[in-house]
A = this chain, B = another copy of it.
């Protein structure tokens, strides 16, 4: 199999993506980030084939997911994208077709999110395809996990649980494992919608300015709403109550939940939402909602911050749900 050298590979596939002056056409060992207003926010998420995405996933979607999970972190901190570096560990069987699709997808998202590539590193990986993205953002005011205050309302963007349900749908698409009964009964459109949400997160970049301006605390939901919100509350030294009925669900998730009410636990504790959970002081809620609406991002009040500690997710009768450990553990 004839494949390009490292230099040729960079020149052919990556240099066209790195158009900022500070990237110097990827002809250097380092890049210069342009100066700009706001705090410089940095984040890094690694993705490994077989762990964070499936080996059968399309290369362009894998590239987009690797960038988007980082942009989701930035948005939750109130930061707009400023650029990224890509570390790429290529397994022995990589092909040019893979790289062509991968970089095409990456280029599409560079344009979509106005997030230029500044450089990176490509290495041989005697193991699974591995992506390590470091993303940079700028925030007028960086929002932390630790600023929630009793009385603040808790809001969530978009819809919750689609990623976790979508993993089941995606595994079924690939013919892996045994599909649960609810999935087999779900309409094809709903199944496809859920699988798509698992494959391709929608980082809430357009919500970043409103988060920066109004949130007392925020984080992106990557490891499940219940667990991630519990972390935020713990960092804030506060407690919280969420009404399970108030948690925003997609039509597909609503249909799945109707088929199998126990899925509420998967929805509330599953991973891969990439929505934002934020706490907003009551006096700022109206402005936050108006700015979110203007940005085209749905936001829903799901609960409130309380004194004390711990998160209670209450059912329609006001009884706390038992959610088990409440978060996805990476180890």
Contact = CB atoms under 8 A, between A and B. Distances in A.
Given A5-B329, A9-B331, A329-B5, A33 B40 contact: yes
A217 to B, nearest CB: 10
A219 interface: yes
Nearest to A220: B29
Contact of A43 (B5, B45, B119, B329): B119
A42 B77 contact: no
A318 interface: no
A146 B27 contact: yes
Contact of A130 (B50, B74, B127): B127
Interface stretch (A137-145, A199-207, A307-315): A137-145
A89 B77 CA distance: 25
Identical subunits present: 2
A53 to B, nearest CB: 12
A46 B127 CA distance: 14
Contact of A142 (B32, B35, B48, B219): B32
A262 to B, nearest CB: 25
A292 to B, nearest CB: 20
Given A51-B123, A87-B87, A330-B6, A31 B42 contact: yes
B48 A123 contact: yes
B137 A134 contact: no
B27 A132 contact: no
A31 to B, nearest CB: 5
A50 B329 CA distance: 28
Q: When A and B form their complex, which 9 residue pairs have the shortest distance between CB atoms, in order from nearest? A: A127-B127, A132-B132, A30-B43, A134-B134, A29-B73, A6-B330, A87-B132, A33-B40, A44-B85
28 contacts: A24-B146, A27-B146, A27-B235, A28-B219, A29-B73, A29-B76, A30-B41, A30-B42, A30-B142, A32-B39, A32-B41, A33-B39, A42-B134, A43-B119, A44-B132, A46-B87, A46-B88, A47-B123, A48-B123, A48-B124, A51-B123, A51-B124, A51-B125, A52-B123, A87-B87, A121-B132, A124-B330, A126-B127
